[in-house]
Amino acid sequence: MALTEQLKEIVGPKGYLEGDDIGERHTSDVSGRKYGDPILVLRPATTDEVSQVLALCNEAGQPVLTQGGMTGLTQGGIPLDGEVVLSLERMNAVEAIDARSGTATVQAGVVLQALEEQLETKGLMFPLDLGARGSCTIGGNLSTNAGGNRVLRYGMARDLVLGVEAVLADGTVVGGMNRLVKNNTGYDLKQLFIGSEGTLGVITRAVLKLFPQPRSQSLALCTLNSFPQVTDFLTLMRRRLPGTLSAFEVMWQSFFEKAISLPQTPDNPFDEAHAFYVLVETQGGDQERDAKALEEALADALESGVIQDAVIAKSGDEAKNLWLIRDASMEVYLTLTPGKSYDVSFPLDAIQPFSEKLTETLAERWPESELVMFGHLGDGNVHPLTNADNGGPEIDEVLFGLTSEFGGSISAEHGIGLSRRGYLGLCKSDADIELMQTMKRALDPKNILNPGRIIEMDA
């Protein structure tokens, strides 16, 4: 029996797509790029089916590409010709929510927003939050070590996981579904799979840390005239709002003006244009007390000249409307197509000189180009979006070269995928890359799992 027929038999009639039925959903991501056509899309419903699929593909040396919600921006989920796609979209059950221990046991295909909505009814939250929440999946979030809007308070995805179940290239199921906060029994195996973009194993289930749903949320949109004021404002907010500051999102004027012009965003609440706009959010346990603390902190910032103006959300609906501006990043990016979206990070004091040098360089080399920027400034993460070079390879060389020059990382939270693989040496030493290759050979000796993503392997 042919390999494809054996694979189809494992997952059953509802578990595969082939030929014209595959469609764009499984051949391109949100960037719209396409590299090739998979020979088959498999949609297993259980870990056992994943295990059988991988065991069979490993025996045959068949390359397998794992897909989540396809919201990535580094082309890590786009198939190449001849690959089998393994989509975990049918493994979308929230298996258990334990309010006492503060854990949720979920399958990898659970959509982040669907989990958030279930938890909200129980007074709980999973604090990972990003603009793609309506379509990204937990498996994808973990495999890329997603960050998002609230890293400042809660950390990255790897900080929010207690246990992971994964399937190795040969079909072996590993990883205990640990629910213990303290568990120092040898190597922390889950970290092999979190952030490795499906190259070392396929995450199938996870135990996530939960937190009580905050009883208060206060949000303000503030204007500033210079980047030093932005960093001073961050320092002030950290000092005045310890334990409640949950987000500090900065938008350069270029981003804000594009976002505010979109049909889904609210009207501009400010009469004058400013160089920077910051969304500052607090979450706590007493709405009246926490709102007053934010208002007093903002009053200090206004009086000292750190910020020029501020709009405070007076209701949950007003807060959601203000977040719409910041969450419009994908729509803003699409106005620049063909272009590129980048995800870089720096020490805080390097962000301004990087942005100034980047602006200057683009103006010299591509004078007709646009550059817009926003970022999660509390963790040093900046997202430049540009149509310089019409999204060609030269802009990658310029931007990643400047990132390295200013001591930054070429990937803060989106991963490496296919598009950044050639620049990994800017952030990793030869010894680091060799160790990564050694790990890959040990766990996937035939190089069938997401081949070519993150690192290149010798034939």
Looking at domain 216-329, which of 3.40.190.10, 3.30.70.2190, 3.20.20.70, 2.60.40.1220 is its CATH number?
Answer: 3.30.70.2190
Nearest residue to 280 (alpha-carbon basis) of 326, 315, 316: 326
pLDDT at 459: 57
pLDDT at 34: 85
pLDDT at 320: 94
Report domain 336-426's class. Answer: alpha beta
429-441 pLDDT per residue, tens: 999 999 999 999 9
60-89 pLDDT per residue, tens: 999 999 999 888 888 889 999 999 999 999
> What's the rounded Cα separation, in Å, for the pair 336 and 391?
9
DSSP element (H, E) containing 440: helix 430-443
Angle at 141 between CA 220 and CA 430, to 5 degrees: 110
Report domain 3-87's class. Answer: alpha beta
396-434 pLDDT per residue, tens: 999 999 999 999 999 998 899 999 999 999 999 999 999
137-193 pLDDT per residue, tens: 999 999 999 998 889 899 999 999 999 999 999 999 998 898 988 999 999 999 999
* Half-sphere exposure in the Cβ direction for 312 (13 Å, CA): 14
Q: Is the dihedral of CA 347, 348, 350, 351 positive or negative?
A: positive
| 3-87 and 216-329 share one fold | no
- Interval 261-286 mean pLDDT: 96
217-269 pLDDT per residue, tens: 999 999 999 999 999 999 999 999 998 999 999 999 999 999 999 999 999 99
Report domain 94-212's class. Answer: alpha beta
- Interval 200-212 mean pLDDT: 98
Biggest alpha carbon distance in the chain?
77
Using a 10 angstrom Cβ sphere, with 0-12 exposed, 13-18 middle and 19 or more buried, the burial of residue 458 is exposed
Q: Is the dihedral of CA 295, 300, 305, 306 positive or negative?
A: negative
- Interval 385-406 mean pLDDT: 96
Ranges of each domain in the chain: 3-87, 94-212, 216-329, 336-426
Pairing of strands 276-284, 202-209: unpaired
> What's the rounded Cα separation, in Å, for the pair 341 and 201?
27
Question: Across the strands, what pairs with 310?
Answer: 222
